[in-house]
Chains A and B, each alone.
Chain A
């Protein structure tokens, strides 16, 4: 699958966002090309892998898809620890999910890896008639926070591949080849970490 002479990147990617915003659906669309209208809620987290072949590099994604309900927040550091990329998802038809997405971004800026590639994803863009969050608001927040912004629909598959290709391209720029995603962070930060411990 990898092209000869091409560098191989192993990257941990985490999906964060409020419940019901479509995190699992995004992952399933990208990994298996599937979509289920009634996707079962994720408890704890789910894990997927997918390989993307770009002209710059071959990216092996380890995708951690997390539970969205607020009380599961206390588990999140375990999932985003050592992540090279994060997708923060909200649902364009719910302003509350956008508020929650902003909180995730702040937390990642504080506790995530320094070189974390972050995407702000406005999902369910097929629900245009129910839109509560305007494109400009999403774009502006993304820009202010050094993230890239994309409107997607896991249902119609709009922009799903584009999203992961863009993440792959950005990872190829910042990541050295053949890194294991888990070790991505500065080694000194990794020592002595415990279950909930965030890098400080």
Chain B
């Protein structure tokens, strides 16, 4: 297993080897669709403008890195790892003040993006994964993977089915090493929480976590903290009830924050969860370009699952004019898909998500969820009863 980890590190070196893309005159002239690799090795298709945007993003990432290093120099190494609001009541008031100032700085900083090289460390600490890991023996992950090796369950069969289908063609994920690492993470988790077991969608989430965290063990703990602490519970269990709740909360929020869009889509009989379900379950990894997805995750791991609502609302908000002109379900889906697939500049999305949508506290969202829960459970329950009566009729 340790051998595999070093292979992951080796496989990651490709990241630094990707040259900055310069679109050729020919493609510029013909305005052709070109294929290129993004920061995390995914092949994406886009036009020359997209390539230019992606080059700008690379430069911005570098600049943001310099900001983080400068802060590290002035505030001390790893200052951000000790920064959480409300911590250290025993501290003197001046220290409390500096902690609060740091927390505010950090919040702003994270919205501008964590440099990819610092992501593993910052995510691991700020998400609570480090704390979660510290409550069990150091050998937990290795012991778990060893204990479940060779076991076959419905979850492991489904995982095996999906391994080659998870981001096929990715230069590391779609290799025997990539498949093996993803398998160990997903299988280990399926045994850690048998209620979740394996839910399709987690394959994409875990794959991206592996790419960022670089070691299986850290990816595993990120997955654990995500499912157990960050996201609403039961998003991925048996009948996805948590996800159903989130969809209802989202519909209410859309009606509140983007009333014109909500009214228009309702007139088209377009249920927004037709598209948003995938956003919530894959945390945008299947819809947004990789760096944009990870910028969203930067904020999710620091501020919580409410961020998903901000981002989802922003995608609708950004295309309000176009959406209001649609006449048909297919057009709505096209607008949304074209938008998400071409959001190569994360700031375009995050600026709308945090500056134009208006703030929503975790508290407000929690209240909304509480309100929706009974109705969702009732309907899911009714459905199960209907299906069961169907079975009884056929006996």
Contact residues in B for A49 (Cβ distance below 8 Å): 330
Residue B314 at the A interface, CB < 8 A? no
Which residue of chain B lies nearest to A196 when distances are taken between CB atoms in the complex? B379
Asked whether, in the complex, the Cβ of B161 is within 8 Å of the Cβ of A20, the reply is yes
Contacts of B271 in A (CB 8 A): 78, 195
Identify B168's interface contact among A40, A82, A194, A195, CB under 8 A: A40
> Among the listed B164, B168, B333, B386, which residue makes an inter-chain contact with A47, where contact means beta carbons less than 8 Å apart?
B333
B244 at the interface (CB under 8 A from A): yes
Q: Closest B-chain residue to A109, C-beta based?
A: B390
Rounded to whole Å, the gap between the CB of A141 and the closest CB of chain B is 13
Determine the distance from Cα of A43 to Cα of B162 in the docked complex, in whole angstroms.
12
Task: Name the A residues within 8 Å of B199 (CB-CB).
Answer: 69, 71
Residues of B near A19 (CB, < 8 A) are 158, 161, 200
Q: Can you list, as one digit per residue, whether each of B166-188 has a CB less than 8 Å from chain A (1) or not (0)?
A: 11100000100000000000000
Contact with A41, one of B200, B244, B329, B390 (Cβ below 8 angstroms): B200
Please determine whether B240 and A71 come into contact, CB atoms closer than 8 angstroms: yes
When distances are taken between beta carbons in the complex, the residues of chain A under 8 Å from B158 are 19, 69
Binary A-proximity of B275-291 (CB < 8 A = 1, otherwise 0): 10110011000100000
Contacts A69-B158, A74-B383, A107-B387 given; indicate if A44 touches B277 (C-beta within 8 A).
yes
In the assembled complex, the CB of B274 is this many whole angstroms from the nearest CB of chain A, namely 6
Q: Is A129 an interface residue (CB 8 A)?
A: no
Compute how far the CA of A39 lies from the CA of B278 in the bound complex, rounded to whole angstroms. 16
Q: Which residues of A contact B164 (CB under 8 A)?
A: 38
**Contact status A78-B240, CB under 8 Å:** no
Question: In the docked arrangement, what's the CA distance between A38 and B175, Å?
Answer: 13
Within 8 A of A (CB), among B123-177: 158, 161-162, 164-168, 174
Instruction: Let me know if B379 and A39 touch, CB within 8 A.
Output: no
* Contact of B31 with A by CB under 8 A: no
Residue of A nearest to B276 (CB): A44
Q: Is the CB of A194 within 8 A of B379?
A: yes
Q: Are B329 and A62 in contact (CB under 8 A)?
A: yes
Check A47 against B329 for contact (C-beta < 8 Å).
Answer: yes
Contact A196 B383 (CB under 8 A): yes
Selected contact of A75 from candidates B165, B166, B240, B391, CB within 8 Å: B240
Contacts of A197 in B (CB 8 A): 379
State A129–B113 Cα separation when bound (angstroms).
Answer: 52
Residues of B within 8 A of A77 (CB): 383
The answer to whether A198 and B383 have CB atoms under 8 Å apart is yes
Residue of B nearest to A36 (CB): B168
Contact of A45 among B174, B274, B391 (CB under 8 A): B274
In the complex, B380 has a CB within 8 A of chain A: yes
Q: Is A84 an interface residue (CB 8 A)?
A: no
* In the complex, chain B residues whose CB is within 8 Å of the CB of A182: 269, 329
Interface residues of A in 54-113 (CB under 8 A from B): 62, 67, 69, 71-75, 77-79, 82, 106-107, 110-111
Evaluate contact between B329 and A74: CB separation under 8 angstroms: no
Flag if B274 contacts A44 (CB, 8 Å): yes
Closest to A78 in B: B271
**Closest Cβ of chain B: how far from A91's Cβ, in Å?**
11
Q: Which residues of B contact A62 (CB under 8 A)?
A: 329-330
Complexed CA–CA distance, A13 and B277 (Å): 20
- Shortest Cβ distance from A41 into B: residue: B200
Residues of B within 8 A of A79 (CB): 274
Enumerate chain A residues within 8 angstroms of B204, measured Cβ to Cβ: 43
| Smallest Cβ-Cβ distance to A106: which chain B residue | B390
B380 touching A110, Cβ below 8 Å: no
In the complex, per-residue mask of B231-255: 1 if CB is within 8 Å of any chain A CB, else 0: 0000011111100100110000000
> What per-residue 1/0 map shows which CB atoms of B352-381 lie under 8 Å from chain A?
000000000000000000000000000110
Nearest CB to that of B239 among chain A residues?
A: A74
Judge if B304 is at the interface, Cβ distance under 8 Å.
no
CB of B243 to closest CB in A, whole Å: 8
- Contact bitstring B316-337, A, C-beta under 8 A = 1, else 0: 0000000000000110010000
Report B268 CB to chain A, min CB distance, Å: 8
For B384, give the chain A residue with the smallest CB separation. A74
Decide yes or no whether B273 CB sits under 8 A from chain A: yes
Q: Does B46 reach chain A (CB closer than 8 Å)?
A: no
B201 at the A interface (CB under 8 A): yes
Interface positions, chain B 26-46, Cβ under 8 Å from A, are none
**Which residues does chain B contribute within 8 Å of A71, judged by CB atoms?**
199, 236-240
> B174 — nearest CB in chain A belongs to which residue?
A38
Residues of B within 8 Å of A69, CB to CB, are: 158, 199-200
On chain B, the residues within 8 Å of A106 by CB distance are: 390-391, 394
Instruction: Give which listed residue, A20, A74, A107, A111, contacts B240 with CB less than 8 A.
Output: A74
Using a CB–CB cutoff of 8 Å, the interface residues on chain A facing chain B are 19-20, 36, 38-41, 43-45, 47, 49, 62, 67, 69, 71-75, 77-79, 82, 106-107, 110-111, 182-183, 194-198
Would you list 16 pairs from A and B whose C-beta atoms are within 8 A, ordered by A residue? Answer: A19-B161, A40-B167, A43-B282, A67-B200, A69-B199, A73-B239, A74-B380, A74-B383, A75-B273, A78-B273, A106-B390, A107-B387, A196-B380, A196-B383, A198-B383, A198-B386
